[in-house]
Structure 1
Amino acid sequence: TYCWIHTTFSIENAWKKRVGEEVPYPGVDKTTPNEKRIYHAYYQWVCFVLFFQALAFCVPRYLWKAFEGGLVKNLMLGLDRPILPEEDRVRNIDLVSYYLYRNKKLHNTLFLVHTITEVLNMFNVIIQMMVMDRFLGGEFSSYGWDVLNFTEWDWSVRYDPMIKVFPRLTKCTFHRYGSSGDVQRHDAMCILPINIVNEKIYIFLWFWFYFMAIASALGLVYRALTILYP
C-alpha cells in the first residue's frame, strides 16, 4: 500500500492520551495545526541494517583468523579431544610446553593482533549501539529500561514503550485528484504488523548488546592486567 512504502508518522502529544476516549490508538489523533509528528521510516530497512550489523561482527574474527593462520589449532595437537590416549596427551603437552618455551618471544606480534581484535570487538559493539540508537530515532539507548519499568508506571499515563518505538498503527497523508480535478488531501491510518516482530528483535538485541559491551569491557580489563602484571 501507499502508506507501507512511504514514511508514516505518529502524533507526539497523542501518546499518553486515553485510548478509546481521546484517541483510537497511542500516537494516532486528529490533525491539528502545528502538531509535532514523529516519522517512522526504519521498518523498511530493518532487515538490511541487521544484515550489515552481522557482517560487521564477523570482521574482527576474520582478521584474526587471517593473521593467525591456524597456528593455535595446530598447537592444540588434539588436546581438546576427550578420547585422546593418556600417553599421547602427556607427550603432546610436553611438545607444546617445549615449543612455547623455545619461542616465547616470537609471537609478540600475534599477541598484539589478538589484543587489537579484542579492542575492535569493543568498539564494534559501542558503535553499533550508537547506530541503532540513531536508526530508531534516539529510542534504543533506553529501550530496554523503559520496557523493564513499564509495569511500574502509573496506570493513568501508562502505555507500552514498545508500541512507541515500534507502533503497530500509524498515520499517513496522501493526495489524490477529487471529482472536480482538484488535489485533495487524505489522512489515513496504516497498520504495521511487521513491528510486532521488530519490537521483539530489538528488545533481545538491547539486552544482548549491553551484555556484550560489559563482557568486552571486562575482557579488556583482564587483557590490560595480563600485560601490566604478566
Structure 2
Amino acid sequence: MYRIPFDQYDIPNDPTVREDKLSYYRWVPVVLALQALAFYIPNYLWNMLHKQTAVNPRAIVNEVRKCRETHGNEREKEVETLAIYITETIDEFNPRYQKSFSRNGWNATILYLLIKLLYLINCFGQLFMLDKFLGGDYLTWGFDTLIDVAQGQPWRESEIFPRVILCDFEVRKLANIQNYTVQCVIMMNMINEKLYLFLYCWLLFVGIVTLLNFVYYIVILCLPYFRTSFILLNVNKSHRSFHDFSRKEFRRFVHDFLRPDGVLLLQFIRQHAGGRVTYDLVNELLRIFKGRYASSIESSPPTLKGFRGENFKNNLAEHAPSTYKENKMIQVI
C-alpha cells in the first residue's frame, strides 16, 4: 500500500516507491495500549517506592481531610495529634535503610522529583515516538493542522493519514499471475487523523504543564530561600506561636526541622486539604518545635544547606523530654 497524489498521473514503476509504506495503522491499538501503560509506570513506581521513605503522603493527607470535618476543641485535638505524628514522621526513617542518604531529609523529595521527571520524559518522549511511528512528519503535521483549524481553513488530506491509496496485488489466472493496481479507501484513517491530532494537543499540553510543575517543585524544595517563603506563606501570622520566633529560629525550623521532605508533605496537605488546615498544622508544628528543640538549635552551629548534622541529632536526643522518647508512633492506615 502506498500513496500517490492525485495531481500525479503516472504510477511509478520503481518497486521501492511502491513498497508497503502505510502499514502502521494495523498497530495503532497496540501502540495506544503501550502509551497508556507508559503513563501508568511512574505512578506505580511512586506508590511502590515512597513506602520506603519516612513520608507516607496518602495516609497523612487522609488524616488531614478528617480535620476539615471537625470543629472547636475536637479540631484542635486532631491537629495536635497530627502535628505530633508528622513530627515523628520527618524524624523517623525506615530501619532497613540506615545509610546517611536516608537520613538527610531529602529521600522523599528526590524520589518525587524523579517521578516528575519520568512524567516529563514520558510526555515529550511519546511525541517523538509517534513522530517516528507515523513516518517522521507528525510534529510538523500537528502544528500545521492546528494553525489551519485556527485560521478557519478547510481540512486538508495529509500524507500521514491518506484516505485513498493504491494497492498492488496478484491474481492467479490459470498458469499465469497477473499484477493489478487498484484504489483502496482506508476509512479508519478518518478516525486516526482526529485521534492523533487530539493526542498531539493533549501530550503537548500535559508536557508543558508538567514542565512548569517540575520547575516549581525544584524551586520550592531545593532552594532554601523559597522553602522558607513557602512556609512563611502558610503560617497564621496572628498566632502567638509565630510572634515568639526569631528569624534565625524560623530558618532553623524550616531547614533543620522540616527539611525538604517536611515541606513536600505540607505542600501535599495544602493541595488536598486546603489552606486553613495547613495554617493550623504549621502553627502547631511551630509550637512543638519551640517547646522541644528551639533551645538546643539556638546554641548549635548551623548545618549546611538544610541538612541535619550529627551535632543537631545529638542535641535533639539530649534535650528531648522523656515522655516524647517513650511516645509510640501513631499508626495511620
TM-score, normalization: structure 2? Answer: 0.55
Paired residue type of 1:100: I
CA separation in 2, counterparts of 1:99 and 1:82? 14
Spell out, residue by residue over 1:204-224, the C-alpha distance to the aligned partner (whole angstroms, 9 max, x if none). 100000011111111221122
Match of 2:164 in 1: 169
Pick the structure with more helix per residue.
2
Structure whose CA Rg is larger = 2
Change (3 A) 1:152 1:31: farther
Unmatched segments (≥5 aa) in structure 2: 94-104, 228-333
Q: Which amino acid aligns with 2:3?
A: S
User: Distance between the aligned counterparts of 2:150 and 2:121, measured in 1?
Assistant: 34
CA distance in 2, matches of 1:137, 1:81: 53
Show the 5 A alignment for 1:66-145: 66-69=48-51, 71-80=56-65, 84-87=69-72, 88-104=74-90, 106=93, 108-145=106-143
**Which is richer in strand?**
1
Hey, what's the Cα distance between the residues in 2 that align with 1:104 and 1:228?
Answer: 19
- Counterparts in 2 of 1:77 and 1:168: CA distance versus 1, 3 Å: closer
Q: CA separation in 2, counterparts of 1:173 and 1:207?
A: 35
1:192 and 1:68 map into 2 onto residues whose CA distance is 47
Among 196, 205, 215, the alignment partner of 2:209 is 215
SS at match of 2:166: strand
Encode CA deviations 1:116-171: one digit per residue, 9 max, x unaligned.
Answer: 11111111112211111100001221232211233689x9xx8715x432112111
Q: 1:174 to 1:111 in 2, by over 3 A?
A: same
Contact 1:79-1:89 within 8 A present in 2 as well: no
Distance in 1 (CA, whole Å) between partners of 2:150 and 2:87 is: 59
Counterpart residue identity of residue 156, structure 2: D
Contact 2:166 2:182 in 1 (8 A): yes
Q: SS of 2:45's equivalent? A: helix
Q: Distance in 2 between matches of 1:95 and 1:135?
A: 54
Q: Does 1:10 align with 2:3?
A: yes
What is the number of equivalent residue pairs in this alignment? Answer: 205
Equivalent position of 2:11 in the other structure = 31
